Amino acid sequence: MLTSKPSKTVAVGFVIDHLNVGGAEIQLVELANALDPVRFAPRVAVLRGEGALLGRLHVPARCLGMRGPGDMRVIPRLAAWLREGRFSVIYTTLAWSIILSTLLRRLVPELRATKIIDSEHSYRVPSASPLLERWRRGAIMRADRIVAVSRAQAHWLETYLGAPHPPIEVVPNSVDPEAFTDLRGGGPVRSEFGIPPEAPVIVCVARLVPEKEHHVLLSAMETVDAHLLLVGDGCLRTDLERQVQDRKLSGRVHFAGLRDDVRPFLAAADVACMASLFESQGIALVEAMAAGLPVVATDVGGIPEVVTAGETGLLVPPGDAVALAGRLGDVLGDPTWKARAQLAGPARVRQEFSIQVRARRIGQLLETVAEA
């Protein structure tokens, strides 16, 4: 049966601070690529640099040459790009994109009727600059809609912004489920780090920053007979490497650094773990579930909305190394866990966290806001 085409294609201007490898950046790239080209005409403006993800975009993109935070010379370039695009909706990601987009809507007459949707990914992580944080909060308050990635983050935003605030829509971050099916064996990763083929492996994909609480995971590893792959980098790497030595874990804890593709590490693992103090959602857990891994994670933020306790994984209180070690031991000691997760995890991701689901829901929001 033929379906009628929409009467008007919605021109969408995605604006983002940069396209370095990161969760929010990957989400924007995949969303822009996945929108129905019959219903939407997306373009992307990158304020600063080009970024490693620029080549993954399948839609028109322009880099505007912002040299660093606070470089106001980008304003006329962004204004020209927005006027040229004649966008019905501007979709912003990260701090400077929402600050500058709302500013220009006020200053440029041609943009006054343009709607703004702000995509928020942070959770209890204020800016290092109080002034920037004040600008960011004020700009978010001037958006027409806010997209949160979990109900927990939406509740936090309500408190952070105060009332009245723009309507908040909850649309979880997503992955392409097909990219995580039939992963090749983890032999190359195990060989790279000297892990025996039969040894149990835990993988943690996370930035090496304070809120991820890697020190709690390292404490748990003292009583868990397994290898740990830490995939990611950050300001705490040197300190964590010293902790590994002090705890005599050097032979079992391996720092993989920042990797463009985490799938080989998921293929090499038996369980995924996240010990975070807070999380907006935990997209690394979604990726692990898509790969069929059971997960053990802290019961904080949006994580309980991702992990179905007892079905796709187990949850523990934050900061409790003993409980974390116990749950990791429970999963590693029960071979039925991995078999169950190989069925339940991918099924849940396809239903709730696939890029197709996210693109459809964001698409409906874009059309609603454009027509308002």
- What are the extents of the domains in the chain? 10-174+354-371, 177-352
Torsional sign, CA 21, 350, 31, 168: negative
Strand-strand pairing, 40-46 and 168-170? unpaired
| Selection from 224, 259, 255 nearest residue 240 by Cα | 255
- Spatial separation of the C-alpha atoms in residues 243 and 249, rounded to whole Å: 8
Mean pLDDT of 12-38: 95
- Spatial separation of the C-alpha atoms in residues 14 and 46, rounded to whole Å: 8
Sheet holding 10-16, edge to edge: 61-63, 40-46, 10-16, 89-93, 115-119, 145-148, 168-170
- Token readout for 22 is 């990161």
Q: Grade residue 4 by pLDDT with cuts at 50, 70 and 90.
A: very low
Q: Taking the complete model, does pTM exceed 0.85, yes or no? A: yes
- Token readout for 8 is 């008007």
Q: Is 297 helix (H, G, I), strand (E, B) or coil?
A: strand
Q: How many CA atoms lie within 13 A of 365 on its CB side?
A: 25
pLDDT at 21 over 90: no
Q: Is 352 helix (H, G, I), strand (E, B) or coil?
A: helix
177-352: CATH superfamily? Glycogen Phosphorylase B; (3.40.50.2000)
Task: Write down the residue that tokens 């006027």 correspond to.
Answer: 83
The string of DSSP codes covering 221-289 is HTS--SEEEEEB--TTHHHHHHHHHHTT-TTTEEEEE--S--HHHHHH-SEEEE--S--SS-HHHHHHH
- Spatial separation of the C-alpha atoms in residues 275 and 207, rounded to whole Å: 12
The string of DSSP codes covering 129-149 is SHHHHHHHHHHHHTSSEEEES
Segment 197-241, tens digit of pLDDT: 999 999 999 999 999 999 999 999 999 999 999 999 999 999 999
Q: At what angle do helices 95-107 and 74-85 cross, to 10 degrees?
A: 70
Segment 91-131, tens digit of pLDDT: 999 999 999 999 999 999 999 999 999 999 988 766 678 88
* Average pLDDT taken over every residue of the chain: 94
Q: How many CB atoms lie within 10 A of CB 185?
A: 11
| Residue type present at position 181 | T
Q: What percent of the chain is modeled with pLDDT above 70? A: 97
CATH placement of domain 10-174+354-371:
3.40.50.2000
Q: Which residues contact 321 (CB under 8 A, 6 or more apart)?
A: 216, 217, 219, 220
